[in-house]
């Protein structure tokens, strides 16, 4: 198993890389090596891009109905091959298998069906005469080849978020998955062989160097990444040098703002679920609780009880709420941030490695933090939750907005006026009310500030993958 080297998917075929530079695939549950990923050469990146460019000549001219049918068939195939996809992803992530099946495979198939239907909804304003003797109208067209880079926290679902709107709009794709979690994306690629024309969807394997070569290639008209701020800045800089568009879905530091009228027990249960799901490896996860001082003690007590019931565990165990952190480097980073907590911070539960094998970390709650602390300001991307108190609504807003990120937030209250004021005041791309981290294909996902720009999901993401052309016709 350890000698197995994965292959690229180019022009409808799996192709062995000629690169001698490979990376180990490590199962985060037991730290065993399960295979190797090639760091694809620049020539292989070029081969994938040019395959996509050739395929675009026909795919870009297909009707929306044709693309809809193809994507609907792919969604059916995804559901039919759920077990294979779950096993492939579980080897790379260690997530509970039931979670992968429900939250990525089934959800991904559903979201792909949304994009299939959305392919037939793209339209422009009606034609009109804005200059005497001339008729104008707008064409909405696909961009062409798009370069896409996906992360390791939700490998399959993020691939769907990328390819769904891109393919539905008539583009062709070269996608580079994370070097630690490529396998479910490769299974997805295999499912496309009989459903999409060759070259419409290509997968190129490698590390950050491969992603850089893909983004820098002159052919793609758009570069899209879901990843860290550092990686997003690199993509944006490279895209700017080529004057190509970029689409960035980056980090988060989501607050849950809890007012005095919220019920501590039910609120804590909802927040804990949204904080520790997927071991906190979610850019929309609750990472900061801001609670009114009058119920601070009660909420902390309830959060601790909830956290202690949401245990990480083995992928096949029915009681496993989440799995390990994805890789050794990230595991060391999270533990390092916990070890560096200031003396005024108190770990009220968790804070340590769980077990002696695998990258498991206990669900962790920290009180006594200050707004300027790194654990409050910087993304941890692990099962770590800080709790701060506030005295009034103005202070709650100030604390919530005073971080570099602006992706997601939530408000917990029974008062409608408070909801409406906070929905306007919170500087985040999403504001949930008495819930957190609930997503639907019909609504946009994306943030502001260092969380990036551009939208995933919804008809707005379809617009990200199109360009507008004005056509004017003289009447004579």
The number of residues in the chain equals 476
Question: Known catalytic residue: 356?
Answer: no
Neighbours of 303 (CB within 10 A): 27
Q: Which tokens belong to 220?
A: 């793609």
Q: What is the C-alpha to C-alpha distance for residues 421 and 150, in angstroms, rounded to an integer?
A: 35
Q: How many angstroms separate the Cα of 423 from the Cα of each of 394, 397, 443? A: 13, 10, 16
- C-alpha dihedral sign at 100, 102, 104, 109: positive
Bridge partners, residue 224, by sequence: 148, 247
Which residues are CB-contacts of 395 (< 8 A; sequence separation ≥ 6)? Answer: none
Which one of the listed residues 104, 183, 219, 249 is annotated catalytic? 249
Cβ within 8 Å of residue 388, ≥6 positions away: 288, 289, 290, 291, 369, 371, 376, 399
Burial of residue 434 (number of CB atoms within 10 Å: 0-12, 13-18, 19+): middle
- State the Cα–Cα distance between residues 278 and 280, nearest whole angstrom: 5
Angle at 66 between CA 62 and CA 71, to 5 degrees: 115
* CA-to-CA separations, 289 to 372, 394, 437, in angstroms, rounded: 15, 16, 14
Catalytic residue among 90, 283, 322, 464: 283
Contacts of 19 (CB under 8 A, 6+ apart): 38, 39, 40, 41, 44, 206
| Residue 249 known to be catalytic | yes
Helices (H) and strands (E) in the chain — how many of each?
A: 16, 22
Quick one: which of 380, 352, 360 has its CA closest to 286?
A: 380
Distance CA 173, CA 170 (A): 10
Q: Which residues are the active-site residues?
A: 249, 283
């Amino acid at each position: 198993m350890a000698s197995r080297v994965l292959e690229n998917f180019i022009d409808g075929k799996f192709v062995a890389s000629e690169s001698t530079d490979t990376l180990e695939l490590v199962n985060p549950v037991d730290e065993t090596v399960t295979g190797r990923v090639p760091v694809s050469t620049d020539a292989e990146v070029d081969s994938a891009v040019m395959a996509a460019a050739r395929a675009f000549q026909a795919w870009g001219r297909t009707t929306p109905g044709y693309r809809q049918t193809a994507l609907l068939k792919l969604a059916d195939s995804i559901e039919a091959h759920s077990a294979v996809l779950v096993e492939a992803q579980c080897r790379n992530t260690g997530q509970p298998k039931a979670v992968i099946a429900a939250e990525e495979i089934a959800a991904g198939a559903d979201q792909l069906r949304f994009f299939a239907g959305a392919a037939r909804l793209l339209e422009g304003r009606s034609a009109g005469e804005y200059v005497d003797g001339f008729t104008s109208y707008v064409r909405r067209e696909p961009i062409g080849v798009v370069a896409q880079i996906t992360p390791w926290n939700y490998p399959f679902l993020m691939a769907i978020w990328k390819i769904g709107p891109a393919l539905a709009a008539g583009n062709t794709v070269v996608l580079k998955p994370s070097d630690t979690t490529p396998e479910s994306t490769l299974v997805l690629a295999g499912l496309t062989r009989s459903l999409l024309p060759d070259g419409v969807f290509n997968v190129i394997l490698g590390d950050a160097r491969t992603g850089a070569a893909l983004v820098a290639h002159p052919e793609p008209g758009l570069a899209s990444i879901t990843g860290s701020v550092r990686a997003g800045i690199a993509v944006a800089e490279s895209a700017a040098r080529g004057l190509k568009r970029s689409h960035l879905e980056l980090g988060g530091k989501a607050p849950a703002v809890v007012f005095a009228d919220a019920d501590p027990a039910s609120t804590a249960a909802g927040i804990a679920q949204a904080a520790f799901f997927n071991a906190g490896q979610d850019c929309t996860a609750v990472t900061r609780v801001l609670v009114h001082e009058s119920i601070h003690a009660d909420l902390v007590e309830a959060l601790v009880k909830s956290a202690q019931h949401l245990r990480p565990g083995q992928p096949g165990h029915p009681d496993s709420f989440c799995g390990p952190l994805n890789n050794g480097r990230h595991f060391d980073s999270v533990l390092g941030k916990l070890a560096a907590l200031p003396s005024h911070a108190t770990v009220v539960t968790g804070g340590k490695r769980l077990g002696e094998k695998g990258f498991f970390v206990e669900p962790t709650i920290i009180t006594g933090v200050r707004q300027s602390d790194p654990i409050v300001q910087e993304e941890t991307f692990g099962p770590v939750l800080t709790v701060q108190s506030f005295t009034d609504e103005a202070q709650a807003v100030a604390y919530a907005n005073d971080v570099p990120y602006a992706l997601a937030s939530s408000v917990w209250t029974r008062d409608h006026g408070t909801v409406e004021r906070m929905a306007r005041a919170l500087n985040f791309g999403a504001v949930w009310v008495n819930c957190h981290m609930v997503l639907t294909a019909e609504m946009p996902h994306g943030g502001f500030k260092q969380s990036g720009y551009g939208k995933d999901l919804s008809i707005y993401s379809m617009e990200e993958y199109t360009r507008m052309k004005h056509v004017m016709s003289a009447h004579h």
